[in-house]
Chains A and B, each alone.
Chain A
């Protein structure tokens, strides 16, 4: 197909939603319900893009099953180590059940018996008409959402300090696309460093990067999640095909009992001794209620990793819902007029410093998507249509296509690979230390300076890779600066040079923003007093999980930190 770079395909709407996963889905539905015209732009195809196709647990708060809000709050605060945003957690308690019921009604959450590998029915036939990956876009289409798919959004557009849409290009045809909207919701997910083992290759922190550039604050980069892979087939940890395809979304219960928090000890053992054998998968938290359907059968799908488990695939992930755009209110607003965020693109901090219970990722996206749709619709309905100035759009397009015009340049695949090799080793982001973080930051700063604006693309596919590499570079700088600033250990943030919690200085989040001089600022944002849990508890009761070397460190420092 001929490239049509001179033509501009323009889309106008009241609400623009970037990203078509669970958050984007609910944001779109809610905004339509509120009478708004909605356009959704997706880097892939709605329902099959990002990490959405693999999601399989949905955490539901259900008072009729005996759930008590105060127990959930306490469990989450303890596991999230007192960095939980209770406004957003309250929203989760209120809304997870209604969102779950909607998904049930639409068959997106399927309750039929598990598909059996030995059954005469093929996986394809079993799913006919009920494939949630196909249902998501079908439902959006039915309510009149315009979906623009296989589009790389490169930049948010501004007019007088308000976000008024975005520009991007279509990956096959290469047309520049312009989106004008009264309100924009980022539902772009999070990211990792293109590591093998988990299918997150296309999640590259795009929303965080674009929001940062227009002045939003970014949080939660100082907490880590990571996945494992298998040593036999590291690219495809589960040798997954049909099993993963037919896996269902299971309801899960809450963070009141030992949940699935990711601990640092397996990594530490790799460092200190020989690599340990890590047991596969965590048990579902038991429920005291026999009639509680949640969690039952969750691992019925016979997924077994290929070979021995190796920690360190999909590194550099954030903790679900705790990394991304810092909300300026309790309704998914970014603080930049016209810009909202939901799901893993929003640092709602419902999980705090470590992931407290399976299913909070997907359910949190549904809950926040709906609320962000609501808030963006309210904003859009009282706002006149506006658009960016022509020269702003022209400059954005010029910048967008410049890597295609370069005669020589750095290879974006190589930049991603070097970035991965800098950020992924366990001793950088998992066992942290000032010198090693600083060393990595020096490398990343060099890459930012020398590669970010000097990459070359031979075609539109490679142009996407250029923007993804830039977004990952910016995110790497955020991660390293946030980790350097937090001079303590907490949740999934383990500093070997500060191996204990420090409540005196660090009941605080780290916010990153672009300074007036263009340089990145990292600042503390204290946790409100009423969200700090029981501060009269003794240290070991308040923090039941131990870090390597923690108690010795506290004894040495004369218990000052307590």
Chain B
């Protein structure tokens, strides 16, 4: 749902997804240098990350499920 990682093995750690996402959804993992969907809540399902990923690592499906959000933390 929304953005998912299709194939983490082919991630080359270029950071294109991190730079492209207007909503700051991605981070590169410090030790593996591969992408991770750090903040799925903020995905606006626009699809730009999958378009700019040179290796086809990410796919975006047109729906999204958000986990319940609590009032405070």
Contacts and interface: CB of A to CB of B under 8 A. Distances in A.
A263 interface: no
B51 A201 contact: no
Contact of A236 (B21, B27, B38, B47): B47
Contacts of B70: 411, 414
Interface residues of A, number: 42
Contact of A414 (B2, B18, B20, B71): B71
Contact of A410 (B27, B45, B50, B72): B72
A317 interface: no
A198 B38 CA distance: 22
Interface string B35-73: 000110110111110111000000010111000011111
Nearest to B54: A124
B72 A461 contact: no
Contacts of A411: 69-73
Interface stretch (A46-54, A76-84, A470-478, A541-549): A46-54
A136 to B, nearest CB: 14
Nearest to B73: A411
B24 A408 contact: no
Given A172-B18, A233-B62, A235-B64, A150 B72 contact: no
- Chain B interface: which size bin? 20 to 34
Contacts of A240: 46-47
Contacts of A123: 51
A308 interface: no
A53 B48 contact: yes
A465 B73 CA distance: 14
B23 interface: yes
Nearest to A49: B22
Contacts of B2: 235
A199 B24 contact: no
B22 A44 contact: yes
A465 B38 CA distance: 14
A63 interface: no
A408 B73 contact: yes
Contacts of A456: 72-73
A45 B71 CA distance: 31
Contacts of B45: 196, 235-236
A417 interface: yes
Given A240-B46, A242-B51, A201 B71 contact: no
B69 A414 contact: yes
Residue of B24, B30, B50, B69 ringed by the most chain A CB atoms within 10 A: B24
Interface in A138-180: 149-150, 171-172
13 contacts: A48-B20, A53-B48, A196-B64, A200-B44, A202-B23, A236-B60, A240-B47, A241-B51, A241-B60, A411-B71, A414-B71, A417-B69, A456-B73
**When A and B form their complex, which 9 residue pairs have the shortest distance between CB atoms, in order from nearest?**
A201-B44, A233-B62, A236-B62, A199-B46, A235-B45, A236-B45, A241-B47, A44-B22, A45-B19
Given A1-B30, A464-B24, 17 more contacts: A44-B21, A48-B52, A54-B46, A123-B51, A196-B45, A200-B44, A201-B42, A233-B63, A235-B44, A235-B62, A240-B47, A244-B47, A408-B72, A409-B72, A410-B71, A410-B72, A465-B42
